[in-house]
Structure 1
Amino acid sequence: MVDIEHIRQLIEMMVENDLVELSVKHGEEELKLRRPNVAEAAAGASPAPAATALPATAPAAEGGEAAAAEDEAKLAKITSPMVGTFYAAPSPDTPPFVKVGSDIRRDTVVCIVEAMKVFNEIKAEISGTIVEIHVENGAAVEFGQPLFTVRRS
């Protein structure tokens, strides 16, 4: 019988080696593990946050509402590429990577997500200004969970 600690070690090995799928057979027992985001991993890309555009509201008749809708169309979310623990700073005694109002570029590290004792630097993947931080430091995050809202530049 496969114990949970052995499964954890296998998952950690998958993360460390960017494996998408792992199959282990021992006697009559067979264990198959598959990581999410298969299409991206199969293409050879490392896990990266998805920058998704927020849906724009329908254009309004009034100029103020139209301007608000246009402004909202420039907003995008940076989401977590994995399940783990969110860290806003590289260590507890250093300032956060970004704060509301910070200007970022595609290669700017915006946070760290710890998964299986591996600290993964999360890059913005878009350029703009941070307008909202959705997660508290040290909080658990899920795959696809919004971390930041960014106004594209």
Structure 2
Amino acid sequence: MNDADIRRYAGLMEELGLTGLEVTEKDQVIRLERTPAPQAPVRETVTLPAAPAAEAQPAPAGAGTPVCSPMVGVFYAAPAEDAEPFVQVGDKVKRGQTLCIVEAMKLMNEIMAEVDGEIVEICVANGQVVDYGSPLFRIRER
């Protein structure tokens, strides 16, 4: 078997969409294999009606001072799964009081209140992943 025969069989494989071919001539056995060319995924285009522009609403007066996450991690509202949360909406807090835990790289980082005040909003859910700078709480200062 020569180069021309092998090229002819390779062309036949492509034409028929085969990924493998074994040819026996006299005492020679030739096995040709190829990986099929990847096919581009079929994408459907869907046209959605234009959504009305959302109007920016200012934060309510006295919405409070945000307490933001100092790192990327997982927010935990309580010290343990079956424990009470550190704080709830309406709780009075003092500067330095633990508000939550943000787990980052297997380290539990306590997030403390930086001001005295009242918790007016908890911005994230327990177990939610938070980004650096994400608001965790809002505290109305006293």
Whether the TM-score (by the shorter chain) exceeds 0.5 is yes
The TM-score bracket by the shorter chain reads: 0.5 to 0.7
- What SS does the aligned partner of 2:121 have? strand
Measure, in 2, the Cα distance between the counterparts of 1:87 and 1:107.
17
Instruction: Specify which of 51, 73, 81 is matched with residue 84 of structure 1.
Output: 73
Gap regions ≥5 residues in structure 2? 1-57
Instruction: Specify which of 108, 117, 138 is matched with residue 128 of structure 1.
Output: 117
Gap regions ≥5 residues in structure 1? 1-55, 58-67
Structure with bigger gyration radius:
2
- Displaced runs of 4+ in structure 1, greater than 6 A? none
Measure, in 1, the Cα distance between the counterparts of 2:121 and 2:73.
20
Question: Structure 2 matches for 1:34-53, cutoff 5 A?
Answer: none
Instruction: Specify which of 108, 128, 131 is matched with residue 139 of structure 1.
Output: 128
- The aligned residue for residue 113 of structure 1 is 102
**Which structure has greater helix proportion?**
1
Shift of 1:147: 0.3
- What SS does the aligned partner of 2:67 have? strand
Q: Number of residue pairs matched?
A: 85
